[in-house]
Structure 1
Amino acid sequence: MEDWQAVASAINGRMAELPLTQQELAERSKVSVATLRELQYAKANRKRSTRTLAAISQALDWPDGYLQAVLTGATPPGARTGAGVPDGSSVVLARLDQLHAEVRRLADAVERIAVDVGHGNKDTSSRRAPKRRAEGS
């Protein structure tokens, strides 16, 4: 069984760890931003080639077969086992990294919206304020 969510968690966790943006990963891997986005959000509705996963693995400084192993549930080449972080823990940590990156992305989006709204309504808000005070009195 293929686990695209595990692939998404691994990619997002590694991007946060390095740190790499989606655009930087696209440039390093020669994989389109659209394909990366689908993989990052586990929206892989079609099978991705082993070469695509290998290119992304290499761009993330992993062995070629790393993401393919994650996808199939095998132990990825070069993964820490035994004295290192257990496989289950590394998946949880990767998911936490993914969530952290998503929260950071959402916070940035909220900040951009707040700035846009603040600039767009700056003049209008100052004109409306006296009217509201007058109506409320």
Structure 2
Amino acid sequence: MGNWEAVAQAVNDRMRERGITQRELAESSGVSPATLRQIQHGVSRQRSRSTLAAISRALGFPEDRLREISLSGQPEGHHMVTDASPLSDLRQEVADLRKRVEALEATMPREAPK
């Protein structure tokens, strides 16, 4: 059993804060849009630890953040790890962008040396 309404609130709030669409979150987390939709609506269904960890990482939370919220029912509990510092958030975003650029570059044809 989990508190999926609290998880939905945390996910939706973080997506809004970061300006992330459901599609972008699906791509960066590797979780299907259908599963994300259920999570965003607080559908009561057990989720795997790896699914919650992937979404947590994609949102810039510590890996176990959403799992902790599902267990405690407190999206902003004082006993949980707080959000990473702005500098840590920026570093994570840069790392994510580098991965995206590398993935895009891998699909582009290489130019022959002149």
Q: Could you tell me the TM-score, scaled by structure 1's length?
A: 0.54
Question: Counterparts of 2:35 and 2:25 in 1: how far apart (Å)?
Answer: 11
Q: CA RMSD in A?
A: 1.7
- Describe the SS at the equivalent of 1:42: coil
Q: Could you tell me which residue of structure 2 aligns to residue 41 of structure 1?
A: 41
Q: Could you tell me which residue of structure 1 aligns to residue 81 of structure 2?
A: 77
Q: Could you tell me which residue of structure 2 aligns to residue 61 of structure 1?
A: 60
User: For residue 77 of structure 1, what is the amino acid of its counterpart?
Assistant: V
**Superposition pairs for residues 24-35 of structure 1, below 5 Å?**
24-35=24-35
Question: Counterparts of 2:43 and 2:2 in 1: how far apart (Å)?
Answer: 13
- Describe the SS at the equivalent of 1:47: coil
Question: Counterparts of 1:16 and 1:76 in 2: how far apart (Å)?
Answer: 21
Q: Could you tell me which residue of structure 2 aligns to residue 6 of structure 1?
A: 6
User: For residue 76 of structure 1, what is the amino acid of its counterpart?
Assistant: M
Q: Could you tell me which residue of structure 2 aligns to residue 83 of structure 1?
A: none
CA contact (8 A) 1:31 1:56 kept: yes
Which structure: larger Rg? Answer: 1
**Shift, 1:76, TM fit:** 3.1
In structure 1, stretches of 5+ residues that fail to align are 81-137
From the two aligned structures, give the one with the greater helix fraction: 1
Question: Counterparts of 1:66 and 1:9 in 2: how far apart (Å)?
Answer: 13
The sequence identity of aligned pairs, in percent, is: 47
**Shift, 1:2, TM fit:** 1.6
> Structure 1 runs of 4+ off > 4 angstroms?
none
**Shift, 1:79, TM fit:** 4.8
Q: Could you tell me which residue of structure 2 aligns to residue 50 of structure 1?
A: 49
The number of residue pairs the alignment matches comes to 79
**Superposition pairs for residues 111-126 of structure 1, below 5 Å?**
none
Q: Could you tell me which residue of structure 1 aligns to residue 106 of structure 2?
A: none
CA contact (8 A) 1:3 1:70 kept: yes
